[in-house]
Structure 1
């Protein structure tokens, strides 16, 4: 993708300015235009991976998600094409919005785009087209949503329809119903689960926060903006720590093919004034993520976003992923709603958290521990609370990072017998430099896990209970990746191959682990000292920079810092 020359004065970290974002949006839009069919109502992109909703729904997805990009860009020429497509779509091309159907998702993108560009698109449509359009969108008001972030799609449609005076009572009820539903999943500290259970991932940012905050902002509803803005601000204080020094987001959760949609909540905080981040930090993180993907093949030679992470990669896809799915990355261009003179565009870039210092940060709601190192910009997530077994391995591993991907050979796992499963995760708490959980494993085992982190080093302890003596146990660390060292050393209960066997009663297995991009890092055995005393207490000393005592037993964990 051809972009303007980098500006290393105002953007010393990425070189990207507003002009780069505008150019990226323009080139993405231009590349999609040849794939418009049925009068522009559908965008049928090439590819063999069709979603489970079918090709017609995939074509609607292509229209809706690229329309969202045109709306953020406020490109009147492009919006004219989408006006023609809207007229064709609501005249019988688009599938109806039904209960739990993919068109409900796309209706939200269409409604949001129409709301954002009302003078440029909606107000210029013929009365007949508007009448048919509200009739099509209106089905979203009563459609049953899947019990997750989908509850916000009727809210988004309802916000637009209420604004233009269509079925205002039904629209208001749809808004209230959806907002009430997500209250069940708000767990505090700026974090939601994506429906029942403990599903924590990027849907917090590009869905659970995005839609309520945008609705409140567009409706100029100070009460709602106070509630949802407070939550967004709290979330961003954690969220900023999830980007590596190279701009990479963490490789965890589902729908990763949306790529730089991860930047949407950053821009949303700046747009609404509800962010703890400085303007320069906001732009540095957002531009870093956009540049990360554009530099690594996210866009193919035809200018289209591919289904994958860097380039094409089926490992990150779900059954609902179709050729147009990656275009939810359009949400990243929310920042273009801010005028060129806004300080988020004019302030010099400032470093993100992973570039400022070594950080070990606990996040209470998902029971996560974030570990980042300034020297290499790597961010590691220790997962002791997020679970969605439908999408294993992107939820069930013990750790994720900005440079590794979950491996088929079960990285970051405890393998009991020959079963690497990790289900029924029970958070046991997080604290200063530690996180712990308990989970079910093979053969009826329960595994209590504790991670202690300092710098780039981790001490991982796993207590295995509920299995016969002599049951084999194997512990794994980080998957290897070019340019980064993944190391693991056995300490307690483990021998060659990081394997051991259970004894009578509960059995403890401890390893020292490190993932580092430092070529000259000190030997791992010198970076930390670990011993287990006769009373079952682990003594950990971090290379002369502090020490920790920890106990892992059937009652849980107990961690104390010592001098």
Structure 2
């Protein structure tokens, strides 16, 4: 899709949603209860994946219809699908649940519809279909859910059952709310369960659902509703630092294939008319974020949202990513619930307010630096205890950048396949080892410290110190092994004929007309790593400047300077083999 200049009016968002749904209309199953969009699948299999595809489009369709959207061509499809998917006698029955069932996740979008537009998705159903739908949703009260953001699926589903006058469990709702409260960290931040991860699930899941609760329980439960809104406002004050001036959000953590769901918190805040930012600023944040995503090749050749990030890429996916999973991104369309006459659609989009050049966010263990079209987060403590695919790369790198993204490995057998940008990578026993967890860590306004061990026999202390052009890494390595370590800078797009690189002594540089990525040191040997294709989330081919250090047995001190330079141009980051300047 072509980028547009007017991304602030309702017609734009309506047109965007409908254009993204159009290629999917002929892909529903005969009974309309499944939407199978590809041959790839997730750990829960194609049967559930088809139900997921059906459900996730509702994250966009529900607010569209709630706000007065006139295209109801899919409404009969969804009424038929809800009836056949929940009828045990139907060949398209979605099936009975079990503990920690993926279908619990997808119930939330259906519940969203029953809460927002019961007159469209509930009342037109035959009495028998209402009964089977309520019974199917009610199964959530019979089984356990994961001890993380999943707890709110119980709340939202029971709230929807209550809203349409069916049997529900207040006890299960209260149990889930208590667990959510135990996740709260302060300053508007939660953890995703009692574990270190503080990623986009805090914004597009926990806060999203809490605000949805506040919308429908404001009168009945004013204390929680006011609390959730207040926490959202607190959260917004630091979460805004995850977005750069161009609208790019910080690539960090799991589920990056949900793409513009990164902006769902802002969209839900607009729907609830929360005073978290001036209205024009809020409109600008959402609009720039959506506009920059539209400059990426995120669709396959049939117009289906692909698994990937800035381009189709299964290498970075998780085991729960099926062909319909990317449509979680439709949560960003929550703002369509605002009617056409609402002030949001009339105000002019405004740029970000003046933000600090550096900010420590202790709740998510980040020290963030801002430079216009780039946000860089120096991290520690976000090491993964949930061992998803490429967990270390998604949480435990030294730095994450809105401009340069991060890379995921093809293998750990060779350095060029290891996706080791922004990592200190050790070559030991013919394998590559990186930071996967922290033995100790601290994050302050001036530095990020971590103590970690990549492999038995090696222990590292690392200090990350921000500078005006990047950051300095100081390492003390205590090793029982003789080995080689590579301190790797940011991955830079490799465009044949345009990108240049050189490694001269202790200076490694990758550059083109738009900027450069640098790794430098007073010791060691400069190298440039020709990274395997499709390892970086943003650029299909990359080069990584690095410093190679010979590590003897004993105690070794090294220091690496990591810098980036770039022109203030908007970039089409996923285009071709690299990127191109957009006017």
Show CA shifts across 1:183-237 (max 9, x none). Answer: 2322222222222321121111111111122112212232112222222212211
Show CA shifts across 1:238-267 (max 9, x none). Answer: 211212333222221111111111111012
- Aligned twin of 1:59: 50
Distance (whole Å) between structure 1 residues aligned to residue 565 and residue 27 of structure 2: 43
Tell me by how many angstroms 1:427 deviates.
5.7
Check 1:519–1:146 CA distance in 2 against 1; reply closer, same or farther (3 A cut).
closer
Equivalent of 1:480, from 477, 492, 500? 492
* Alignment: residue pair count: 503
Matched, 1:368 2:399: no
Distance (whole Å) between structure 1 residues aligned to residue 439 and residue 195 of structure 2: 11
Structure number with the bigger relative contact order (C-alpha 8 A, sep ≥ 6) is 2
Matched, 1:507 2:506: no
Show CA shifts across 1:154-195 (max 9, x none). Answer: 111011112223223x2x122111111122322222222222
- Aligned twin of 2:156: 156
Check 1:251–1:484 CA distance in 2 against 1; reply closer, same or farther (3 A cut).
farther
Select between 58-67 and 473-482 the one with higher mean Cα deviation.
473-482
Q: Does structure 1 retain, via aligned residues, the 8 Å contact 2:188–2:231?
A: yes
* SS of residue in 2 equivalent to 1:404: coil
Q: Does structure 2 retain, via aligned residues, the 8 Å contact 1:429–1:436?
A: yes
Check 1:469–1:232 CA distance in 2 against 1; reply closer, same or farther (3 A cut).
same
- Aligned twin of 1:244: 244
Distance (whole Å) between structure 2 residues aligned to residue 121 and residue 275 of structure 1: 31
- Aligned twin of 1:432: 445
Tell me by how many angstroms 1:86 deviates.
0.8
Select between 468-477 and 181-190 the one with higher mean Cα deviation.
468-477
Check 1:444–1:366 CA distance in 2 against 1; reply closer, same or farther (3 A cut).
farther
Equivalent of 2:182, from 174, 181, 184? 184
Equivalent of 1:468, from 472, 480, 487? 480
Distance (whole Å) between structure 2 residues aligned to residue 27 and residue 122 of structure 1: 26
* SS of residue in 1 equivalent to 2:438: strand
Check 1:448–1:226 CA distance in 2 against 1; reply closer, same or farther (3 A cut).
farther
Show CA shifts across 1:103-144 (max 9, x none). Answer: 111111111122111122212222111011001000012221
* SS of residue in 1 equivalent to 2:476: strand
Distance (whole Å) between structure 2 residues aligned to residue 437 and residue 191 of structure 1: 22
Distance (whole Å) between structure 1 residues aligned to residue 397 and residue 249 of structure 2: 17
Show CA shifts across 1:494-552 (max 9, x none). Answer: 444423345786432211111221399xxxxxxxxxxxxxxxxxxxxxxxxxxxxxxxx
- Aligned twin of 2:197: 199
Equivalent of 2:33, from 41, 49, 58? 41
What is the TM-score with the length of structure 2 in the denominator? 0.81
Tell me by how many angstroms 1:357 deviates.
6.2
Check 1:191–1:66 CA distance in 2 against 1; reply closer, same or farther (3 A cut).
same
Select between 175-184 and 476-485 the one with higher mean Cα deviation.
476-485
Distance (whole Å) between structure 1 residues aligned to residue 270 and residue 370 of structure 2: 24
Select between 452-461 and 204-213 the one with higher mean Cα deviation.
452-461
Q: Does structure 2 retain, via aligned residues, the 8 Å contact 1:71–1:79?
A: no
Check 1:340–1:233 CA distance in 2 against 1; reply closer, same or farther (3 A cut).
same
Check 1:267–1:509 CA distance in 2 against 1; reply closer, same or farther (3 A cut).
same
Q: Does structure 1 retain, via aligned residues, the 8 Å contact 2:464–2:474?
A: yes
Show CA shifts across 1:478-509 (max 9, x none). Answer: 11225441111114x54444233457864322
What is the TM-score with the length of structure 1 in the denominator? 0.84
Distance (whole Å) between structure 2 residues aligned to residue 361 and residue 345 of structure 1: 32
Show CA shifts across 1:294-315 (max 9, x none). Answer: 2212234433211111231112
- Aligned twin of 1:96: 96
Show CA shifts across 1:350-378 (max 9, x none). Answer: 1136xx5672111111210111212xx11
Tell me by how many angstroms 1:287 deviates.
1.6
**Runs of 5+ in structure 2 lacking a partner?**
408-417, 495-513, 528-546, 570-583
* SS of residue in 2 equivalent to 1:198: coil
Check 1:224–1:287 CA distance in 2 against 1; reply closer, same or farther (3 A cut).
same
* SS of residue in 2 equivalent to 1:38: coil
Q: Does structure 1 retain, via aligned residues, the 8 Å contact 2:53–2:324?
A: yes
What's the Cα RMSD here?
2.3
Q: Which of the pair is proportionally richer in helix? A: 1
* SS of residue in 1 equivalent to 2:171: helix
Distance (whole Å) between structure 1 residues aligned to residue 190 and residue 289 of structure 2: 23
Equivalent of 1:380, from 357, 376, 379? 376
* SS of residue in 2 equivalent to 1:422: coil
Tell me by how many angstroms 1:400 deviates.
1.1
